[in-house]
Structure 1
Amino acid sequence: MTPWLKLTTLAALAGMAGLAHAQAKPPLKVGLMLPYTGTYASLGNMIENGFKLYVQEQGGKLAGREIQYFKVDDESEPSKGTDNVNKLIKRDQVDVLVGTVHSGVALAMAKAARENNTLLIIPNAGADAITGPMCAANIVRSSFSNWQPGYAMGIVAGQRGIKRAMTITWNYAAGAETVKGFTEGLEKGGGKVVKDLTLPFPNVEFQALLTEIAAQKPDAVYAFFAGGGAVKFVKDYAAAGLNKTIPLYGPGFLTDGTLEAQGSSAQGLLTTLHYADNLDTPRNNAFRKSFALTYKANADVYAVQGYDAAQLLAAGLAAAKGDLDKRDVITAAMRKTVVDSPRGKFSISPAGNPVQDMYLREAKGQNNEFKAVAVKALADPARGCKM
Structure 2
Amino acid sequence: MIRRRPVTRLLATVAAATMLAAAAGCSGSSLDDSTAAGSIRIGLLVPQSGPYKAIGDDLVKGWQLYLDTHDGKLGGHRVQVVTADEAEGKQSALNAARKLLDKDKVAVIAGTGSADAVESIKTLVTERKTPFVGTGGRPSTLTDVSYIWHTSWLSRETGQAIAEHVRTTVDGPVYVIGPDYQGGYDQIGGFVDTFVKAGGKLANDDGKPAWTPWPGTTNFLPYLNKITSSGAKAVYCFYAGTMAVDFVKQYEQAGLKGKVPLYGAGFLTEGSVLAAQGAAADGVQTVLNYAANLDNAANRAFAPAYQQKHQTAPNLYNVTGYDAALVLAAAIAAAGDKPTSESINAAIGKLGAIDSPRGQWRFGASHSPIQPWYLRKVQNDGRARANVVVQNLTTLGS
Amino acid at match of 2:378: A
Describe the SS at the equivalent of 1:192.
coil
Measured after TM superposition, the shift of residue 63 of structure 1 is 2.1
- Per-residue CA deviations over 1:131-182 (Å, capped at 9, x if unaligned) read xx2x322210000011111111212112214542221111001111111110
Q: Does 1:95 align with 2:107?
A: yes
> For the residues of structure 1 that align with 2:274 and 2:190, how far apart are their CA atoms?
24
Matched, 1:378 2:390: no
Deviations 1:195-254 (A, max 9, x none): 311111121221111111111112221111101110110010111111222211111000
CA distance in 1, matches of 2:155, 2:345: 26
- Distance apart, 1:283 and its partner CA: 1.8
* Paired residues of 1:278 and 1:367 also in contact (CA < 8 A): no
2:312 is aligned with 1:312: no
State the distance in 1 between where 2:159 and 2:37 align: 43
Structure 2 distance, partners of 1:26, 1:328, is 16
Compared with structure 1, are the counterparts of its residues 192 and 323 closer, same or farther at alpha carbon in structure 2 (3 Å cutoff)? farther
Give the aligned partner of residue 240 of structure 1.
254
Distance between the aligned counterparts of 1:162 and 1:28, measured in 2? 55
- The one-letter amino acid paired with 2:397 is A
- Which letter maps to 1:273? L
- Listed one character per residue, the Cα deviations across residues 6-51 of structure 1 (whole Å, up to 9, x for unaligned) are xxxxxxxxxxxxxxxxxx9711101111111222111111111111
Name the CA shift for 1:347/1:25 in 2 (closer, same or farther; >3 Å): farther
Equivalent pair of 1:335/1:350 in contact (CA under 8 Å)? no
Matched residue, 1:160? 169
Q: What is the distance in 1 between the residues matched to 2:57 and 2:346?
A: 26
Partners of 1:72 and 1:208 lie apart in 2 by 36
Gaps of 5+ in 1: 1-23, 381-387
SS in 2 for 1:33: strand
1:301-380 matches, within 5 Å, as 301-325=316-340, 327-328=342-343, 330-365=345-380, 366-375=385-394, 377-380=395-398
Change (3 A) 1:335 1:232: farther
Match for residue 236 of structure 2 among 200, 211, 222: 222
Q: Which moved more, 1:56-65 or 1:116-125?
A: 56-65
From 298, 312, 330, the equivalent of 1:283 is 298
Greater helix share, structure number: 1
Q: Is the contact between residue 40 and residue 228 of structure 1 (CA under 8 Å) also seen in structure 2?
A: yes
Q: What CA distance in whole angstroms lies between the structure 2 residues aligned with 1:77 and 1:128?
A: 16
Structure-2 residue corresponding to 1:148: 157
Aligned to 2:40: 28
Q: Which residue of 2 aligns with 1:267?
A: 282
Superposed CA offset, 1:331-385 (max 9, x none): 354453211111111110122011100000111132110111111x2115xxxxx
Which residue identity does 2:300 align to in structure 1? N
Residue number among 167, 171, 187 corresponding to 2:180 in the alignment:
171
Q: Secondary structure at the match of 1:346?
A: strand
Aligned to 1:111: 123
Deviation by residue 1:271-315 (Cα, 9 ceiling, x = unmatched)? 001001211223212101111223333311100000011111112
Residues 59-109 of structure 1: CA distance to partner in whole angstroms, max 9, x if unpaired?
A: 211222101011111212412222121010111110110120121112112
Contact 1:319–1:330 (CA<8 Å) still a contact in 2? no
Among 268, 272, 284, the residue aligned to 1:254: 268
Task: Tell which deviates more after alignment, 311-320 or 332-341.
Answer: 332-341
What's the counterpart of residue 139 of structure 1?
148
Q: Is the 8 A contact 1:31 1:88 kept in 2?
A: yes
Instruction: Read off the aligned partner of 2:92 and give its amino acid letter.
Output: K
- Structure 1 distance, partners of 2:343, 2:199, is 44
Distance (whole Å) between structure 2 residues aligned to residue 91 and residue 333 of structure 1: 25
**Which of 209, 221, 227 is the equivalent residue of 1:196?**
209
Q: How many pairs align?
A: 353
Contact 1:127–1:146 (Cα < 8 Å) also in 2: yes
Partner of 1:384: none
Task: Determine whether 1:185 maps to 2:194.
Answer: yes
> Cα distance 1:326–1:303, how it changes in 2: closer, same or farther (>3 A)?
closer
Matches of 2:285 and 2:90 in 1, distance apart?
31
CA contact (8 A) 2:245 2:277 kept: yes
Aligned residue for 2:257, secondary structure, equals helix
Q: What residue number does 1:16 align with?
A: none
Measured after TM superposition, the shift of residue 317 of structure 1 is 1.2
Which of 120, 125, 150 is the aligned partner of 2:137? 125
Distance 1:271 1:128 in 2: 21
TM norm structure 1: 0.87
Partner of 2:32: none
Query: What is the rounded CA distance, in whole Å, between the counterparts of 2:80 and 2:344 in structure 1?
Result: 22
Which structure is larger by alpha-carbon Rg, 1 or 2?
A: 1
Equivalent position amino acid for 2:226 in 1: E
Does the aligned pair in 1 maintain the 2:111–2:321 contact within 8 Å? no
Contact 1:163–1:190, Cα closer than 8 Å, also in 2: no
* Structure 1 CA distance for aligned equivalents of residues 338 and 249 of structure 2: 50
Partner of 2:94: 82
